[in-house]
Amino acid sequence: MITPAPVAECIVLQDCIQVPSTPGKSNGPFLLPNLLFGYSDLEPYIDQATMMYHYNKHFNGYMTNLNNALKGTLSANLTELVLNPTDSTIRNNGGGFYNHGLFFRIMCTASRSETPSKLLEDAIIKSFGSMAQMKQQFAAQASSRFGSGWVWLGVLPDGKLGITTTANQDTPFMKVQDIQYQLMYPFLGLDVWEHAYYLNYQNQRSSYVDAWWNIVNWSQVPKKNNSHPLHKT
């Protein structure tokens, strides 16, 4: 059986939280994590121009706006901010910063993509039947997400794996009044905003989703948090 670790352990991105400000580099508690690859390293699946704009403009923009909203705060916990956003600025930019932190962390060059760990692969097979069936369900959810949003693979409260989507920059564990999301502790997320793929794929979102699996860094998926949500019992 697969059981989720405590929520605080599952959804904390250590690369993005409680980073002290550095004079001249940030006016708030968060800094942009370094990429683990070059801008062109994900080609042909994600082109260099898209990667540059996505990282330097969009991801950096969410960080800047979040820091501006928290100006004067020297330390903050991103998980707590996103879990219970106090206003739309925190919701949109805190969520955007968290989501992109996960997105960029779990990608790599195609030659390093490899396969999931035995524990994760077994959990995927148990929950979906096979890796292929998981990817089919993931693609279906991505296609059904109207407009901008994200597709997630993660651990449900009952310990099973699940796939869900969220709108805009919301996360599956965000507590908001206007939308009731299926609670999930995500460990893999795909950005399906048009800025993530339109230069290369235009309106062919499904082609982007299919291609993305070639650059998933499965070795980072269980490491992206301080504690992996999958445990043997």
Does 231 appear as a known binding residue?
no
CB atoms within 10 A of CB 137: 17
> In whole angstroms, what is the distance from residue 147 CA to residue 230 CA?
31
Provide the angle, in degrees to the nearest 10, between the axes of the packed helices 131-144 and 118-128: 70
Binding site annotation covers 228? no
- Say whether 100 sits in a helix, a strand or coil: helix
Q: Count the neighbouring beta carbons within 10 Å of the beta carbon of residue 9.
A: 15
Contact 103, 189 (CB under 8 A): yes
Confirm whether residue 54 is marked as ligand binding: yes
Query: Which residues lie below 8 Å from residue 45, measured CB to CB, with a gap of 6+?
Result: 110, 211, 212, 214, 215
Overall size of the chain counted in residues: 233
In this structure, what token pair is assigned to residue 147? Answer: 């407009």
Pick out the residues of the known binding site for Mn(2+). 54, 100, 191, 195
Pick out the residues of the known binding site. 54, 100, 191, 195
